[in-house]
Amino acid sequence: MAMRKNGSSPDGSTGDMPPEEFRAAGREAVDWVAEYLAEVEKYPVLAQVRPGQLRGALPDAAPEQGEPMEQILDDFREVVLPGVTHWNHPSFHGYFAVTGSGPGILGELLTAALNVNAMVWRSSPAGTELEEHTLDWLRDLLGLPEAFEGVINDTASHSSLYALAAAREEAYPEAREVGLAGSPRGRIYASREAHSSIEKAALTLGLGREGVRKVEADDQFRMNPEALREALEEDRSRGIRPVAVVATVGTTSTSSADPVAELAEVAEEWGLWLHVDCAYAGASAMVPELRVHFRGWERADSVVFNPHKWLFTPVDCSVLYCRRPEALERAFSLTPEYLRTREQGTARNLMDYGVALGRRFRALKLWFVLRYFGAEGIRSRIREHVRLARLFAEWVEEDPDWELVAPVPFSTVVFRYASPELDGEEQDPANEELLEKVNGTGEAFLSHTRLRGRISLRLSIGNLRTREKHLTRTWELLRRSATEVVGQTASRLG
């Protein structure tokens, strides 16, 4: 059936899009998605646009009269798409690479159709119970003890904020009623390599930036437990109250893993909340030979991990597991009269575990992903990504002009161009320039970090379409760009 030419409802009524029109436009949209996923490589990975380009192509005001869906879809393709950086591209290696997989996309579509708000159990029992059940499955697959209860949030930043709010609740039981004014200063301990979301949580919780102490890391970027002990002692002598220890497994810069078991020892000695941030690497705990990096996480009080990073689930989906959910509930539960229900006490109300009242039905897409790929399918995909990352790391190690900057425990490689033809001062600008060149080709996208004061490049693998041939091409682009940069430097100096 052809789509109507006019966007407003057919009989001038005030209703929604008619079912026949939805079916026709929906088929077109789903066909487009199938083709997009099959041919995503034809797009430049990094959007090749200038700031303001998209806004310049859009009308100044929203339409007064409805527009036909065909026209809206055309504009999506012609105006919006050029401004998209394609995270679903097999050569997207920036930040942490991800996949919005087929089953995940379909789950997201159905979530939008149901449009439930699972704030309390009765506002959508399936929203609550599928979340609980799927997270129990996932917990068992990850090898976490049954005591951990899960809840889904939008991002790891919010999950960590909530976990640290529970820790603050334990450290300052009075804060819920009277706030922190007049209380001793409090501190969260995390490594220098911890994600900035920990500092943001401290800001939000009223602890301030000084409320995070960055503990020394070793030469492999892992938090040093002895340095943690010393920091705690020193702060105690200054009257600072410790709130929590944050361990990271899969740090943002290098994907290093803090020694969680040793840190758990310290946290237990000091009676402190231990939060483990494995936003990226968490999925790999499903793979027995990779679980070694998580040793000791079962002793944590809370763990955050994002299925939207390395578990093939579309953005957004972050899981917070808590061994003491009652502390989380104490920190957040506040029930206005209109949300009181008869099920109170017999069913969980997910609004009690964070700031947001409303919550999307995110469990549906995660449930689709777990069922469609199955645990074995997920493990083999993660193993393949780790294999590819190690292969790329070998290429780097074998080339005397390049160096590996950090170990590769998961699927992220950190490396730099360090040709003897460039002196030390020239190396940072050279790495920045060659990264721009590679990203500018639109064929691959990598990001960067600064380690020990020097610029390094990061290549992360997490897309289900990435094959060895893509990495071969990216390696070729990197080496070619490096040669061009060295040539430019030489001619500038010569």
Ligand X SMILES: Cc1ncc(COP(=O)(O)O)c(C=O)c1O
Judged by the rule CB under 6 A, the positions of this chain that interact with ligand X are 95-96, 155-157, 195, 197, 248, 250-252, 277, 279-280, 306, 318
Give the residue with the Cβ less far from ligand X, 199 or 443: 199
Give the residue with the Cβ less far from ligand X, 200 or 291: 200
User: What are the CA-CA distances from residue 83 to residues 38, 156, 299, 358 (Å)?
Assistant: 20, 26, 45, 30
Nearest approach in angstroms of CB 154 to ligand X is 7
Strand order through the sheet with 302-305: 149-153, 318-322, 302-305, 273-277, 241-248, 186-191, 212-215
Q: Report yes or no: 231 and 245 within 8 Å, Cβ to Cβ.
A: no
Give the residue with the Cβ less far from ligand X, 280 or 392: 280
Give the residue with the Cβ less far from ligand X, 193 or 443: 193
Give the residue with the Cβ less far from ligand X, 164 or 279: 279
Hunting for tokens 């590996």 — which residue is that?
A: 404
At how many degrees (to 10) do helices 156-171 and 325-332 cross? 90
Give the residue with the Cβ less far from ligand X, 155 or 341: 155
Q: Report d(CA 246, CA 242) in Å as an integer.
A: 12
Token pair listed for 154: 């939008």
Give the residue with the Cβ less far from ligand X, 194 or 482: 194
At how many degrees (to 10) do helices 225-237 and 260-269 cross? 20
Alpha helical stretches, state H, 40-155: 53-56, 69-75, 102-114, 125-142
DSSP string for 465-479: T--HHHHHHHHHHHH
Nearest approach in angstroms of CB 233 to ligand X is 27
Give the residue with the Cβ less far from ligand X, 124 or 306: 306
Nearest approach in angstroms of CB 256 to ligand X is 10
Token pair listed for 98: 């991800």
Nearest approach in angstroms of CB 34 to ligand X is 28
Nearest approach in angstroms of CB 278 to ligand X is 7
Nearest approach in angstroms of CB 276 to ligand X is 10
Hunting for tokens 């100096």 — which residue is that?
A: 493
Hunting for tokens 């763990």 — which residue is that?
A: 303
Hunting for tokens 């292969």 — which residue is that?
A: 391
Nearest approach in angstroms of CB 150 to ligand X is 15
Nearest approach in angstroms of CB 200 to ligand X is 9
Strand order through the sheet with 454-460: 402-404, 412-417, 454-460, 447-451
Q: Report yes or no: 406 and 451 within 8 Å, Cβ to Cβ.
A: yes
